[in-house]
Structure 1
Amino acid sequence: MNTNYLKKTSFLLLLMGFAFSFSSNAQIAGWNVDLEKDSNEKLAEMIQKVGKLQSFKDKAYGYAIYPKITKAGLVIGGAGGKGLVYKGKQIVASSKLGQASFGLQAGGQQYAEVIFFENQEAFDRFKSGKLKFNAQASATAITEGASADFSYQDGVAVFTMVAGGLMAEASVGGQHFSFDPVQ
Structure 2
Amino acid sequence: YAGWDPNKTESAKDQEVSNTKVAEVIANFKNNYPNLKTYFEEAHGYAIFPTVTKGGVGIGAAHGKGEVYEKGTMIGSTSLTQVTIGAQFGGQSYSEIIFFKDKETLDDFKAGKVKLGARASAVASTAGVSKDADYNQGVAVFTLSKNGLMYEATIGGQKFRFEAK
Could you say which TM-score interval applies, normalised by the shorter chain?
0.7 to 0.9
SS in 2 for 1:179: strand
Letter in 2 for 1:122: T
Structure 1 residue aligned with 2:69, among 74, 82, 86? 86
Contact 1:115–1:156 (8 Å) recurs in 2: yes
Distance 1:72 1:147 in 2: 25
SS in 2 for 1:80: strand
Provide Cα deviations, 1:82-113, integer angstroms capped at 9, x if missing partner: 00000011100100001011101110000000
User: What is the deviation of 1:36?
Assistant: 1.3
Written as runs of structure 1 = structure 2, the 5 A alignment for 1:122-133 is 122-133=105-116
TM-score of the aligned structures, taking structure 2 as reference length:
0.82
Contact 2:124–2:130 (8 Å) recurs in 1: no
List structure 1 segments (4+ residues) > 6 angstroms apart after TM superposition.
Answer: none
Number of the residue aligned with 2:32:
49
Q: 1:77 to 1:84 in 2, by over 3 A?
A: same
More helix by share: 1
Distance 1:114 1:181 in 2: 18
Provide Cα deviations, 1:31-58, integer angstroms capped at 9, x if missing partner: 3321111011112101222111111001
Structure 1 residue aligned with 2:48, among 54, 58, 65? 65
Letter in 1 for 2:127: G
Number of the residue aligned with 1:178:
161
Written as runs of structure 1 = structure 2, the 5 A alignment for 1:1-183 is 31=10, 32-33=14-15, 34-138=17-121, 141=123, 143-149=125-131, 150-163=133-146, 172-182=155-165
Alignment length (residue pairs):
146
Q: 1:87 to 1:62 in 2, by over 3 A?
A: same
Q: 1:76 to 1:95 in 2, by over 3 A?
A: same
Identity %: 38
SS in 2 for 1:38: helix
Number of the residue aligned with 1:19:
none
User: What is the deviation of 1:136?
Assistant: 2.8
Distance 1:115 1:106 in 2: 25
Q: Which ranges of structure 1 fall in alignment gaps of 5 or more residues? A: 1-29, 165-170
Contact 1:92–1:181 (8 Å) recurs in 2: yes
Distance 1:141 1:45 in 2: 18
Distance 2:95 2:125 in 1: 12
Q: Which ranges of structure 2 fall in alignment gaps of 5 or more residues? A: 1-8, 148-153
User: What is the deviation of 1:135?
Assistant: 2.2
Letter in 1 for 2:93: Q
Distance 1:156 1:132 in 2: 11
More strand by share: 2
**CA RMSD of superposed structures (Å):** 1.7
